[in-house]
Structure formats: structure tokens, C-alpha cells
Amino acid sequence: MTNVIYAVAVLGLLGAFFGLVLAFAARKFAVEVDERQLQVEETLPGANCGGCGYAGCAAYAAAIVNEGAPINLCVAGGSQVIADISHIMGIESAETERFVAHVRCSGCTGIAREKFEYDGIPDCVAAMRLGGGQGFKECSASCLGLGTCVRACQFDAIHIIDGVAVVDHEKCVGCMACAEVCPKDVIEKIPYSANITVPCNSLDKGPVVRKYCDVGCIACKICERVCEYDAIHVTDNLAHIDYDKCVSCGKCVEKCPRNLILDIRTDRKAGEPSTANS
């Protein structure tokens, strides 16, 4: 019995000793964390979406406080988060332009023809392994519509409608997680204020496009000729809009012989979700 008591006492003393050692080490080698860093991290939305360019909200908070990173990079938080962070950091609030994702494809079922019927895993990356590494659509640049982007979005801002991904601009925060997982590189970032969009991604020449898609860009350059603001140009057989110059006059929309170029202002005026390729 005495031996048991002795052993327990020794273990107790050892535990107390090592506890003191650990406490001393924790205090001695503790890394000082700026209180503002914790405040900024609490202010950020905690989405960890990566839209700011950092690994997550904690990493971005550390970069703001310790590295002087811009305070307006949180796409998920918006203007209110920027204002709160500016107050914490004691600096002037920075304005930021809102961006959203845009799917450069109108290839819904019945428009962009299919090479074969796909009955595999509902994942765009998996489907890309077939059809010579291009998937099951005749258009090698089209959206496959299997929802890989949908599953990557934390904000319920992108859905598959009639076989093609469609972005709800009212929910989209522009983190571009959808673009990162898209194997077709069919999703781009555009200003939220953009009204005119070109939902096509094909770089094929017009005669080739006509064979597999009823609405794809045929590089006719009519849009380029009618634009008075030098805001749209056909490059590599595809029309591209310069949103710094575009005034949303809509002439390219009216003259496009394929009815490809869209004006999404009607959706916004009606108070409906703004979609750039519906």
C-alpha cells in the first residue's frame, strides 16, 4: 500500500513539474498575435472561398495586418466588410468593383450537338477523359453541364439549366471557385455592372461552328463593325467585349445574326436573378 501511495505521489509531482515546464515554454516562446488580426478575421465572412487570393480568411487577415495586403479583396464580404476592416485598421475605406462569374457557353441540350450519349459519372472532369479528351459534345469548347462547378460553389450561385451552367449574378460573389474546377475553362470573371455578354467559348471558324451549334459565334465581325465605341472585337474567331469601353448601347445585340450576344438588363429591371447565358 505504501508503494502505491509513493508511486502516485511521484507521478503527481512529475505531472506538476512538467506542467510548469510547459506553461513556462508556452509563455516564453509564444508568438505575439496582433489583436487587430483577430478582429479582422472575425469580421471576414469565414467562407474560406479563396476569392481574395489567400488560402482562407485567417491567412487573409494575417496578410492585411502583417503584410499590408489591400483590404478590399474579400469578394464574399462586400462593401460592409471592407468598411469594418478599414475601421479596425484605421485607414481609409477602399472602393471595390463587384465582379461575377460568366459562363461563355449557350450550348444547352438541342443546340450544341453531342458526339455520343454520356452515361457515366456526373462530373465534367470524368467526362473529359472520353471523346479524345474533349468530352461528349461536338463543340470541344462547350460547357459539359455535369455540375462540377455547381458543387464547387459555396453560395448557391450557379446551377445547371437545360444542360448548361447558368450563373445567378445576384448570389455570385466572384470568388471564381467554379472557374478553378471547370476543365473546359469556360467560365470567366466579368463586372457585375456588365450588361452585354457573349456566351460562347469556341475558337473554331464559322463554317465549323455551324456544323455543331446553332448559336455559336461564327466570327462574322458584324458586331465589331456596328460598335461605335470600339468595345467589341473578334479575336481568334470569337467576339470579346472590352467592358472598359462598352456603354451597353445594344447595337451588337441587335445585329448579331446568330442571336448570340445578350443584353441582361431586362432581367435586372424585372428583379429576377441576372444570368448572362440563359
Residue 182 confidence (pLDDT): 96
Residue 244 confidence (pLDDT): 95
Residue 135 confidence (pLDDT): 87
Q: Where are the domains of the chain?
A: 35-89, 99-269
The per-residue pLDDT for range 206-256, each reduced to its tens digit, is 999 998 898 999 999 999 999 999 999 999 999 999 999 999 999 999 999
Residue 268 confidence (pLDDT): 41
Cα dihedral 28/34/39/43 (nearest 10): -110
Summarize the confidence of residues 168-193 as an average pLDDT.
Answer: 94
Summarize the confidence of residues 165-191 as an average pLDDT.
Answer: 94
Residue 1 confidence (pLDDT): 63
CA dist 79 and 90 (Å) reads 16
Residue 266 confidence (pLDDT): 59
Could you say which DSSP state residue 12 is in? H
Instruction: State the burial class of residue 80 (Cβ atoms within 10 Å of its Cβ: 0-12, 13-18, 19+).
Output: exposed
Summarize the confidence of residues 55-63 as an average pLDDT.
Answer: 92
pLDDT reading at 4 higher than 80: no
Q: Which fold has domain 35-89?
A: 3-methyladenine DNA Glycosylase II; Chain A, domain 3 (1.10.15)
User: How sure is the predictor about 278, in pLDDT bands with cuts at 50, 70 and 90?
Assistant: very low
Max CA separation in the chain (angstroms): 101
Given this structure, which CATH class describes domain 99-269? alpha beta
pLDDT reading at 274 higher than 50: no
Q: How many CB atoms lie within 10 A of CB 233?
A: 14
The per-residue pLDDT for range 71-99, each reduced to its tens digit, is 988 888 888 899 999 999 988 877 778 89
Q: Tell me the torsion sign for CA atoms 236, 239, 243, 244.
A: positive
User: How sure is the predictor about 112, in pLDDT bands with cuts at 50, 70 and 90?
Assistant: low
Average pLDDT over the chain reads: 86
Cα dihedral 28/31/34/37 (nearest 10): -150
Cβ–Cβ under 8 Å, residues 202 and 112: no
